[in-house]
Structure 1
Amino acid sequence: MELVMARDGVPIAVHSTGTGPGIVVVHGGGVTIDVYQRFAAALADRFTVHLYNRRGRGDAGPREVPYTGSQDVDDLAAVLAHTGSSYVVGHSGGGFVALSAALRLPIARLALYDAAVSVDGNTPSAWLPAARAAADAGDPARALAITAAGINTHQAASKLPLGLRVAMTRLFLRTPIGRMMGDLVSMTLDETALIHAADGPASRWSGVTAEVLLACGADGPPYYVTGNEALAAAMPQARAIVIPRSGHDAINRAHPRLVEPLADFFGAPAPSRDNATP
Structure 2
Amino acid sequence: MRRISAGDGATIVLHSMGQGPGIVVVHGGGVTIDVYRRLATALAERFTVHLYNRRGRADAGPREVPYTGEQDVDDLATVLSHTGAGYVIGHSAGGFIALKAAQRLPITRLALYDAAVSIDGNTPSAWLPAARAAADAGDAARALAITAAGINTHQATSRLPLGLQVAMTRLFLRTPIGRTMGDLVGITLDETALIHAHDGPASQWSGVTAEVLLACGANGPRYYVPGNEALAAALPHARAIVIPRAGHDGINRAQPHFVEPFATFFAAPTRDNLPR
> TM-score, structure 2 length as denominator?
0.98
- 1:57 aligned onto 2:64: no
Match of 2:81?
Answer: 81
Provide the rounded CA distance (Å) in 1 between the counterparts of 2:201 and 2:25: 26
Q: Aligned AA for 1:182?
A: G
Provide the rounded CA distance (Å) in 2 between the counterparts of 1:45 and 1:123: 36
Which segment drifts farther, 263-272 or 8-17?
Answer: 263-272
Q: Aligned AA for 1:75?
A: D
Provide the rounded CA distance (Å) in 2 between the counterparts of 1:209 and 1:4: 28
Match of 2:144?
Answer: 144
Match of 2:213?
Answer: 213
Match of 1:35?
Answer: 35
- 1:260 aligned onto 2:246: no
Q: Aligned AA for 2:134?
A: A
Match of 2:99?
Answer: 99
Deviations 1:1-58 (A, max 9, x none): 1111111111100000000000000000000000001110000100000000000001
CA RMSD of aligned residues (A): 1.0
Provide the rounded CA distance (Å) in 2 between the counterparts of 1:2 and 1:242: 35
Deviations 1:73-102 (A, max 9, x none): 000000000000000000000000000000
The 8 Å contact of residues 109 and 266 in structure 2, kept in 1 or not, is answered as: yes
**Residue 196 (structure 1) shift:** 0.3
Provide the rounded CA distance (Å) in 1 between the counterparts of 2:203 and 2:257: 30
**Residue 257 (structure 1) shift:** 1.6
Q: Aligned AA for 2:94?
A: G
Q: Secondary structure at the match of 2:170?
A: helix
Q: Secondary structure at the match of 1:157?
A: helix
Provide the rounded CA distance (Å) in 1 between the counterparts of 2:258 and 2:87: 17
Provide the rounded CA distance (Å) in 2 between the counterparts of 1:73 and 1:271: 25
Q: Aligned AA for 1:219?
A: N
**Residue 271 (structure 1) shift:** 4.7
> TM-score, structure 1 length as denominator?
0.97
Match of 2:26?
Answer: 26
The 8 Å contact of residues 211 and 271 in structure 2, kept in 1 or not, is answered as: no
- 1:163 aligned onto 2:163: yes
Q: Aligned AA for 1:14?
A: L
Q: Secondary structure at the match of 1:245?
A: coil
Q: Which structure 1 residue ranges, 5 or more long, are not aligned?
A: none
- 1:234 aligned onto 2:231: no
Q: Aligned AA for 1:187?
A: I
Q: Which structure 2 residue ranges, 5 or more long, are not aligned?
A: none
Provide the rounded CA distance (Å) in 2 between the counterparts of 1:232 and 1:140: 36
Q: Secondary structure at the match of 1:132?
A: helix
Provide the rounded CA distance (Å) in 2 between the counterparts of 1:108 and 1:65: 30
Give the ranges of 4+ consecutive aligned residues of structure 1 lying more than 2 Å apart after TM superposition.
none
The 5 A counterparts of 1:178-257 are 178-257=178-257
**Residue 270 (structure 1) shift:** 3.3
How many residue pairs end up in the alignment? 273
Provide the rounded CA distance (Å) in 1 between the counterparts of 2:26 and 2:54: 8
